[in-house]
Amino acid sequence: MTSINELIRGFQRFRVKSFEPNRELFNRLAMQGQTPRTLLIGCSDSRVDPAILTDSAPGDLFVVRNVANLIPPYETGGRYHGTSAAVEFAVCNLQVANIIILGHSRCGGIRALLEGYGENDEGEGFIAPWVRIAAPARDEVLRRWPDASNEFRQRACERAGIRASLTNLMTFPFVRQRVEDGRLSLYGWYYDLENGELMQYDPEKDRFHDLYFGLMPTAAA
């Protein structure tokens, strides 16, 4: 387990290895502000860091992380809309060109949804209503594969949850308008922790396909 002192030493290494050699970049970001082209909604899971997975530099990604990488449907009731506020800021203020929903295998939030977490008064009442955003994904999986193994249903629900969040994104009027006029593109990605594979959802074929091998550089002739 990483201790606080180890984190501080990590920051010291960052100063030496990253900040000082790139001081001009960091100063420019500080003075001129951020202009990321991509909003990425990822999971809070400590094993899935979007910047590490995409080898991105500071300023490249506007990142939102929450339990199970979920996007709630558009609604103006209630009082606190952290994820929705980040989507609004990225789309309307930063004018991002891409939104990626990044899900992953072995997701604890999706497991909680499948296992009915909160139905027996577990927790403090925050996790269960949040993961129920993906209830349509869970219901679809249980309906289509009632006799499948828990592992199969977990992976199927993780991917269905990505599709559900993409659907919810389109309920935001400012997202839909920009998608329809070509200013904004939506992507669903799935990262396999065990195998280091990244897949993308193809809405036309309704399936996920591998991205890594399709983008491998070819050897020089």
The pLDDT assigned to 220 comes to 39
Q: Which of helix, strand or coil describes residue 30?
A: helix
Q: Domain residues of the chain, as ranges?
A: 1-33, 34-212
CATH homologous superfamily for the domain 34-212: Carbonic anhydrase (3.40.1050.10)
The pLDDT assigned to 37 comes to 97
On average, the pLDDT of the chain sits at 94
Q: pLDDT band at residue 213, thresholds of 50, 70 and 90?
A: low
CB 143 within 8 A of CB 44: no
Q: Which of helix, strand or coil describes residue 77?
A: coil
Look up residue 72 and give its amino acid.
P
Element at 185 (helix H, strand E): strand 185-192
Q: pLDDT band at residue 215, thresholds of 50, 70 and 90?
A: low
Q: Tell me: the pLDDT tens digits for 12-70?
A: 999 999 999 999 999 999 999 999 999 999 999 999 999 999 999 999 999 999 999 99
The pLDDT assigned to 89 comes to 98
Separation of alpha carbons 194 and 58, rounded Å: 27
Q: Tell me: the pLDDT tens digits for 81-123?
A: 999 999 999 999 999 999 999 999 999 999 999 999 988 888 8
Separation of alpha carbons 96 and 179, rounded Å: 11
The pLDDT assigned to 1 comes to 60
> Among 150, 197, 157, which residue's Cα sits nearest to residue 48?
197
* Average pLDDT over every residue of 155-173: 98
Q: Which of helix, strand or coil describes residue 18?
A: helix
Separation of alpha carbons 17 and 4, rounded Å: 20
Q: What is the share, in percent, of the chain residues with pLDDT greater than 90? A: 89
* Average pLDDT over every residue of 153-163: 98
Residue 179 has pLDDT above 50, yes or no: yes
Q: pLDDT band at residue 221, thresholds of 50, 70 and 90?
A: very low
The pTM score is 0.92
Specify the pairing of strand 197-202 against strand 185-192: antiparallel
The pLDDT assigned to 122 comes to 85
> Among 101, 65, 57, 133, which residue's Cα sits nearest to residue 198?
101
Separation of alpha carbons 31 and 219, rounded Å: 41
Separation of alpha carbons 109 and 127, rounded Å: 8
218 burial level (CB within 10 Å; 0-12, 13-18, 19+): exposed
Residue 197 has pLDDT above 90, yes or no: yes
